[in-house]
Amino acid sequence: MSFQDKVQGTISQIDKELSKYPTLNNLEKQSSVPKVYAFLGIIAFYFFFIFFNIGGQLLTNLAGFVIPGYYSLEALFSSGKTDDTQWLTYWVVFAFLTVFESLFTVVYWFPFYYTFKFIFVLWLALPATGGAQVIFRSFIQPVFSRYFSGARKVDTDKAL
């Protein structure tokens, strides 16, 4: 399968997902712009603004709060507990990242900081990558587990 075929396949998958939303279908009919291209254009502009730090902090925090916040609420209203563990772990790791960021003025030391933070937050938040669990098990749990009475080793893999 060629690269062009893979891209077309991905575009058709995104289009299929976007077709579930009647508002986007109506916008596509009214504007004559395919919804998948409008969506990809918005994503490109979003990343462009973050890359050139035009509201980078706000846009990165929106990605770090709004999308995971929605999925956290969805997890709370679901009957299963595995998604609760995943999002609780995300929020603990994101809180540590936010505190670290405010204590040390990393923005001034690290060029394109918000670009890397945006990619890191996506890696943390996406359940397929398990980024929050990796950071929690590797750094946070070993350091802080001794400070909690009755602390047990949490196997976040089983919880997911």
What's phi and psi for 36, nearest 5 deg?
A: -65, -40
Does 47 lie in the same domain as 64? no
Across the 160 residues of the chain, what is the mean pLDDT of every consecutive 10-residue run?
A: 93 95 94 95 97 95 94 92 91 94 82 94 94 95 85 55
Q: Provide the residue range defining the domain that includes 141.
A: 57-160
Say what the pLDDT of residue 30 is.
96
- Look at residues 13, 42, 10, 36 and name the one whose alpha carbon lies nearest to residue 24: 36
46 & 78 share domain: no
Are 34 and 107 in a shared domain? Answer: no
Chain-centroid distance of CA 78 in Å reads: 20
Which residue, 72, 98, 91, is CA-closest to 132? 91
Query: pLDDT (tens digit, 9 = 90+) per residue, 11-22?
Result: 999 999 999 999
Task: Assess whether 101 and 145 both reside in one domain.
Answer: yes
Same domain, 158 and 126: yes
Together in a domain, 76 and 126: yes
Q: Measured in whole angstroms, how far is the alpha carbon of residue 69 from the centre of its chain?
A: 10
Residues 47 and 64 in one domain: no
